[in-house]
Amino acid sequence: MKIYNTLTKKVDDFIPNEDGKVKMYTCGPTVYHFAHIGNLRTYIMEDVLEKLLRYSGYDVTRVMNITDVGHLSSDGDTGEDKMLKGAKREHKTVLEIAEFYRKAFFSDCEKLNIKYPDIVEPATNCISEFITMVSGLIDKGYAYLADGNVYFDTSKVPNYNDLSGHSTEELMVGVRDDVTEDKSKRNKSDFVLWFTKSKFDDQELKWESPWGIGYPGWHIECSAICMKHLGAKLDIHCGGVDNIFPHHTNEIAQSEAYTGEKWCNYWFHVHHLNDETGKMSKSKGDFLTVSLIESKGYDPLAYRFFCLQSHYRKPLVFSYEALDQATQTYNKLIKRIAGLKKDGEIDNAFVENAKNTFIEKVGNDVNTALGITCIYDILKANTNDISKLEALKSIDYVLSVGLIDRAEKLNAQASTTSNEASANDNISPELKAKIEELIAKRAEAKKAKDFATADAIRGELSEMGVTIKDTREGTLYTIND
Ligand code: AMP
Ligand code: ZN
């Protein structure tokens, strides 16, 4: 397998430290709000990477943290703690917020066929690990105490900018006059490992530490959680591109300072999903969630399919038109698969060959678009349907767009549709015409995103004693008894 490595800035052959085993770490969500579909683009592509590694024969252990403390409204050391902001917004405690949005996150992941990581670790579970690591960094001379906070001294790390590619000028000693930075820092890029003082004194969760009552910085979480579960050496670390600096840069600095050796060999970063006005972000208030697109009638797996059509290293622009197009292509594909017959013998050589071709194509820097091409190649192949189904099932372990599951559902639906159609046979032609006219008007309203009208029509039908059901085949109706 080959992967673009942000550290070397080229596509590298993937060779894990231990033969056949992969230690993988993923920065998890900050659970102060729902994940937007941009965050989930990152998790979808990381899921493909993990499954591709497994599909290629590696034994993967994947760890994900849950950020429930320490992530400030900037990715640096300024602003209010995001969790506290969430708690204030909803008049709940920080732990209630964390619990609610952690569950919401994994429920979204399930809808998108994103596998649950082997280990999920909330930061608030690991305070003693953070304290041990910060103490170690002070002992080794990499961290210092100033005005109540513990800082990491970035000037002690000559390769600090290797990952981000930033210029060393930014690491110059002394806080520049024009930067309203924390004056306690020795260097502009130093960062807080442990806070006991911040502008926001009402931090809800605080713990005893050798430096006073306080809470950890965001960056130390990932290094300590990663080492707790995966040891001193990591094969691959993932996240969105916004994590490259300062988060991952700081993770490398503190981890390597702590262990005295190279920490992680491969850095995998997913580019952002943007909306037409720019980067999608939770702080913008009105943001796109899986539930929102579902409520508009989209299948979450059609969103996954939309993401897989593009390469993870390119920015992707979201629009409903683009999602409509992906949905259309996806539905057509599912319909084709639903038409495959299950008779005959499986041609195992064909399936094996399809699998190897898939690994070769997608394994070249997680090329998911080529993975989708593999689906069409299988469908076009000169073999029986049952072998095609088997090959599709096999590669869908990685793509996870529900190729078999959705096709089976479509076939099951088609048989209920024909039952329902015959149950509606004794309706008068006038009533049938009226119902169909209203259904058509509702479809138009939905297409024009006029959801108020669409809902009003559903109400009108309900008053007439008609229940409607939206399916991939169109809207079905039944007359209530
Ligand atoms: P957060 O919950 O804010 O810590 O972010 C969770 C993950 O989503 C991180 O890996 C981020 O890098 C990633 N991310 C944030 N915004 C976007 C976006 N617009 N598109 C893709 N990934 C994103
Ligand atoms: Zn992280």
What are the tens digits of pLDDT across the range 410-452? 999 887 766 666 666 677 778 888 898 899 899 889 888 888 8
What are the tens digits of pLDDT across the range 280-305? 776 655 689 999 999 999 999 999 99
Using the atom order of ligand 1, give the atom closest to the CA of residue 30.
2
Question: Which numbered ligand comes closest to the C-alpha of 33?
Answer: 1
Distance from Cα 136 to the centre of ligand 2, integer Å: 20
Distance from Cα 184 to the centre of ligand 2, integer Å: 25
What are the tens digits of pLDDT across the range 118-132? 999 999 999 999 999
What's the pLDDT at 474? 76
Residue 266 burial (10 A CB sphere; 0-12, 13-18, 19+): buried
What's the pLDDT at 420? 67
More confident residue, 470 or 395: 395
In 3D, which of 423, 422, 430, 435 has the Cα closest to residue 465? 435
CA-derived radius of gyration, the chain: 26
Q: Is 189 in the pocket of ligand 1 (CB under 6 A)?
A: no
CA dist 54 and 114 (Å) reads: 14
Q: How confident is residue 274, by pLDDT bands cut at 50, 70 and 90?
A: very high
Question: Which numbered ligand comes closest to the C-alpha of 217?
Answer: 2
Distance from Cα 161 to the centre of ligand 2, integer Å: 17
Helix (H, G, I), strand (E, B) or coil at 464: coil
Please report where in the chains the tokens 């703690």 appear, as a residue.
Answer: 81
DSSP string, 386-423: HHHHHHHHHHHHHH-S-HHHHHHHHHHHHHHHHHHHHH
Distance from Cα 423 to the centre of ligand 1, integer Å: 49
In percent, how much of the chain has pLDDT > 90?
75
Q: Is the pLDDT of residue 224 over 50?
A: yes
395-404, 418-427, 442-451, 453-462 — most confident range: 395-404
Q: Is 82 in the pocket of ligand 1 (CB under 6 A)?
A: no
29-43, 83-97, 156-170, 462-476 — most confident range: 29-43
Q: Is 29 in the pocket of ligand 1 (CB under 6 A)?
A: yes
Q: How confident is residue 173, by pLDDT bands cut at 50, 70 and 90?
A: very low
Helix (H, G, I), strand (E, B) or coil at 141: coil
Using the atom order of ligand 1, give the atom closest to the CA of residue 240.
12
Question: Of the given ranges (369-373, 436-440, 469-473), which has the lowest mean pLDDT?
Answer: 469-473
What's the pLDDT at 201? 63
Using the atom order of ligand 1, give the atom closest to the CA of residue 28.
6
What's the pLDDT at 181? 64
Using the atom order of ligand 1, give the atom closest to the CA of residue 282.
3
Q: Is the pLDDT of residue 388 over 70?
A: yes
CB 370, CB 361: distance < 8 Å: yes
Q: Is 28 in the pocket of ligand 1 (CB under 6 A)?
A: no
Question: Which numbered ligand comes closest to the C-alpha of 252?
Answer: 2
DSSP code, position 81: B
Residue 212, token pair as written in the block: 């006073």
CB 21, CB 58: distance < 8 Å: yes
Average of per-residue pLDDT across 88-103: 94
Q: Is 273 in the pocket of ligand 1 (CB under 6 A)?
A: yes
Q: Is 243 in the pocket of ligand 1 (CB under 6 A)?
A: yes
Question: Which numbered ligand comes closest to the C-alpha of 310?
Answer: 1
Mean pLDDT of the chain: 92
Q: Is the pLDDT of residue 471 over 80?
A: no
What domains are defined for the chain? 2-270 (3.40.50.620), 302-310+318-405 (1.20.120.1910), 424-479 (no CATH)
What are the tens digits of pLDDT across the range 174-223? 433 444 567 889 999 999 999 998 766 677 889 999 999 999 999 999 99
Q: How confident is residue 146, by pLDDT bands cut at 50, 70 and 90?
A: very high
Residues 6+ apart with CB under 8 A from 172: 187, 188
Q: Is the pLDDT of residue 260 over 90?
A: yes
What are the tens digits of pLDDT across the range 302-351? 999 999 999 999 999 999 999 999 999 999 999 999 999 999 999 999 99
What's the pLDDT at 350? 98
Q: Is 24 in the pocket of ligand 1 (CB under 6 A)?
A: no
Average of per-residue pLDDT across 225-239: 98
Q: Is 38 in the pocket of ligand 1 (CB under 6 A)?
A: yes
Query: Mutation test of ligand 1: which of 26, 34, 39 has the most ligand atoms closer than 8 Å to its C-beta?
Result: 39
